[in-house]
Amino acid sequence: MSRTRKAAMLAAAAALLLSACDAGGQGAASGSLEAAGGSANAASPSVAASPSAAASPSAAASPSAAASPAPAEPAASPAPAMSPKPASPREEKKPVPERKRKLPSGFVYVDEVIPTAQYEIRYFTDYNFVGARLDGYNAPYAILTKQAAEALKEAHDFLAPKGYGLKIFDAYRPAKAVRQFVAWSKDASDQRMKEEFYPEVDKAKAFKLGYISSRSGHSRGSTVDLTLFERKTGKEADMGSPFDFFGDISSHGTPEIGKAPAERRALLKRAMELAGFKPYSKEWWHYTLEKEPFPKKYFDFDIE
């Protein structure tokens, strides 16, 4: 065969291949190449073996992608199945009893007046200096006279721009619960909470020392025990000593605490006094409304 004829045949094969590619049919191009001698398919087996290349026209049209394909990312390992963490007794949330709404005239549920405050009604639990739920605490609700609750909201609102809110431990206290305090003080054999709440105090002297009273202002409905919580974290603030701790460290102005807790006590005291409450010198958490509506009446209805 002459060189001229061979050149003509190769030119015809190239034209046929170009025509097949322009038509977009890889199979047609492959068939045309086979008709022209089959050398092209043999030279690029990877194209025929890769279904993804056929399914992705854009990849075929990009020389750079073909020249340096991106390395495949390793498949992510599936996250291991996590067993649920068993709740500790204090983490378990018991259902809250429905409000019976049998309050005497002039009393309110505090969380309905101040829904953004925090509530941890200690005497509904056994985590208190007595070590048992107190009589009359049938539900973990804070109850106060309407005047005291509204004044307390003023203190809560005053603290908000300073980054704090109020956390309430106790409010109205039934007289029957106070009688339980008296019985507790006379039982010398019951020392289960001594280490945590009164390590250096003889419980029989708790009344004489002024830590508890046989007739509590709480039973008049306008006295509250409370602390601060940090709005940013929701955590209870460090006040230098815990709620209901019997000792000099719980007094206002004690030198036994650091600067930061002392400043927080002073802030709480300022907020409460501006709202119309008076403090109790021996307990940084205890405040009574100055103009209480029932200054001489002691109530004994249940909290429920």
Mean per-residue pLDDT, 247-267: 97
DSSP structure class, residue 278 = E
Q: What is the 3-state secondary structure (H, E, C) of 45-108?
A: HHHHHCHHHHHCHHHHHCHHHHHCCCCCCCCCCCCCCCCCCCCCCCCCCCCCCCCCCCCCCCEE
For a pLDDT cut of 70, what percent of the chain falls above it?
69
pLDDT digits (tens, 9 = 90+) for 210-222: 998 889 999 999 9
Which tens digit of pLDDT belongs to each residue from 60-97? 334 333 444 444 444 444 433 333 333 334 445 667 88
Annotated catalytic residue: which of 34, 150, 256, 283? Answer: 283
The whole-model pTM stands at: 0.69
Reported as a single tens digit per residue, the pLDDT across 10-32 is 455 444 444 443 444 444 333 33
Clarify whether 283 is annotated catalytic. yes
- pLDDT at residue 75 in the model: 44
Q: How far apart are CA 118 and CA 165, in angstroms?
A: 8
Q: What is the mean pLDDT of the chain?
A: 79
Distance CA(302)–CA(300), nearest Å, equals 7
223-237: pLDDT as tens digits: 999 999 999 999 999
